[in-house]
A and B are shown apart, each in its own frame.
Chain A
């Protein structure tokens, strides 16, 4: 069974219908760790040591956040800068994260059509996420295509619930997956 670390980054959760619904659908499972970054580090003073330990203890790393300016909220970028250290996450001796899954859970205000070559945003979410993909690759991680919810501004409560159910299913499937990540194996 794969252990899941869910890194959640949302500066104004109280205003987000979709993310609150998603959070409610996270299965209560000992192998899933929910980690609310903005709640833990309101002053952006990230405890790198603790974050690294958390990463080592899990097999799948999920990043859940709203799409701000075609990327993640500032704290998540900050987290990447500080936690993914050279010599630990990447570089010649940086193998701590090898084999772990990296997957983004992204909500976009714009519709699916807007994120098409002929749409308003011109590029797809997958294209905007190239830097995540490459980061994962540099860290020898197994990058999975993102789980995206489009058009959140106009979603009906019923649709939001359906999306949340899909999310729940995704997490349950991930739990059963066999992940061969180097360091977690060592830990066992």
Chain B
């Protein structure tokens, strides 16, 4: 079989991913590490099943572009504006400080200042792909460390643009050499600086304008055609179009698609776009991680182990220290700060881009480039391990403790109720129970909230509530009821499985985001399911009826009846629902809504009270007379 044939490559990559990622997830290592190990295994160092992985890496970098598009979709412009301080302050300082320190060190080692600056720029960015993927998987995106990490990563993505512009200026090669070796060279490279700037600005403005005025009507038109795959094609076309445009004008495609995402964040097709791009993003990102694993030059590690490891550790320590000091300065508390600085201390995938760029410019020697490449890949491979280290070793000890040791003389309280997640949902239930004298133990992942609650005398355990050891520590074996009120639906299902397995006597009450979520929980055997918005939207309905002139009591009864009816309908529909039919949640939502509304047409005659209806009585009395 032809080694380089596309299908053979696909076979190797997919097999490696399919075999190793579930294993890594099962072992609690996270998917990123699974992909990396898969890459190492099929790479030249071990099985040598794939040739040069750099082509694949290039293709897979598109996964990062897609990821930023999806992130952009989740960020509305207003939110972005609110985050401007951490983005510019924390992100800006991180890039500048790291660059400066690395540059000075390199110069001290005798490199020319130009090369030193280039190296500084190459190592300053962290890995958006690995960090965001890992944070999302661990449900830490909303934590303070998660938000700060996101701000820094965003700034780094932006900072790559000027870096790409500066690198050629540092090059020792002549103009001719540059354009000859620079593959993506376009007419723009030959233009004077002011035209370049104008073109770049023009491209950004074009994206914003097109996103608002052209893309939305286009999406509407395509959606009206009701051909699902064409909508997917349109979404891909959108991202690829922007990528090509950005590459032409010399901007980072990731940044361009991020911008497009933000522009489309408040459009009605946001969820459709998101769910269409999501699978591609996931696959390509996985491929990207595999390619990194495969590209690790183990030969270099064998030949120069001390030098290479020295570089890796040195870089990670420098970056980590800079981040830690900045985190302090921006008042992250100790353990959030540790997560933040450990999470971002690797060198990111942009280094590969910048390195290949600088190699073309003949700026850095091939030797050093190889060395840095290997160091970058290793530092990325170490990141998931650092996250694990943080979760298992550091987090339980530093800052907000997992549990507060009780004074030996106090009676160990055994609360009958455990609340997992004290956010918007959990805190209301928790306050209500406390007001009624029910002892509750709280599990929460937000360290600030944990500290605060402890001050008020709550018995709080800090950490991921789906972990069996933490549940055990919180007294899950003795408690009667656990309220699963954490915000992440996936985590909730994970918790349900853990509890079913390890604490079969613990009764579960579960929060559900929506009907889909509730169905999943029904399938998991849950009896007590509470949909987040059900009661409040009905209360809104009651008040609307009242303002329309209906009597309050009638309106209230109508809502009560509707609630009963809805729960019944839900049970009925769940029995005819085939979860395998739906890969795409937004499609499911529409289909489900269609079914519900059809059932609702029979709902108008429920809740009629014949007992209060005197028509038949009046009728009968007339006849008697």
Contact = CB atoms under 8 A, between A and B. Distances in A.
A3 to B, nearest CB: 24
A82 B609 CA distance: 7
A48 interface: yes
Interface stretch (B158-166, B510-518, B536-544, B610-618): B610-618
A45 B609 CA distance: 11
Nearest to A91: B620
B564 A45 contact: yes
Q: How large is the interface on B (under 10, 10 to 19, 20 to 34, 35 or more residues)?
A: 10 to 19
Interface of B: 557, 560-561, 564, 609-612, 614, 616-617, 620
A85 interface: yes
A84 interface: yes
Given A86-B620, A87-B616, A91-B617, A81 B611 contact: yes
B337 to A, nearest CB: 48
A82 B612 contact: yes
Given A86-B620, A91-B617, A91-B620, A45 B557 contact: yes
Given A86-B620, A92-B620, A45 B611 contact: no
A45 B561 contact: yes
A86 B609 contact: no
The 8 closest A-B pairs by CB, nearest first: A82-B611, A86-B617, A45-B560, A85-B610, A81-B611, A86-B616, A87-B616, A85-B611
Interface residues of A, number: 12
B612 A81 contact: yes
A81 B564 CA distance: 21
Contacts of B610: 48, 85-86
9 contacts: A43-B560, A83-B611, A85-B611, A86-B614, A86-B616, A86-B620, A87-B620, A91-B620, A92-B620
A130 B340 CA distance: 77
Contacts of A45: 557, 560-561, 564
B611 A48 contact: yes
Interface in A64-97: 81-87, 91-92
B621 to A, nearest CB: 9
Nearest to A87: B616
Contacts of B561: 45
B620 to A, nearest CB: 6
A87 B620 CA distance: 9
Given A43-B560, A45-B557, A45-B561, A84 B616 contact: no
A83 B609 CA distance: 9
Contacts of A85: 610-611
Given A48-B611, A85-B610, A91-B617, 7 more contacts: A45-B564, A81-B612, A82-B609, A86-B610, A86-B614, A86-B616, A87-B616
B154 to A, nearest CB: 49
Interface in A47-73: 48
Contacts of A48: 609-611
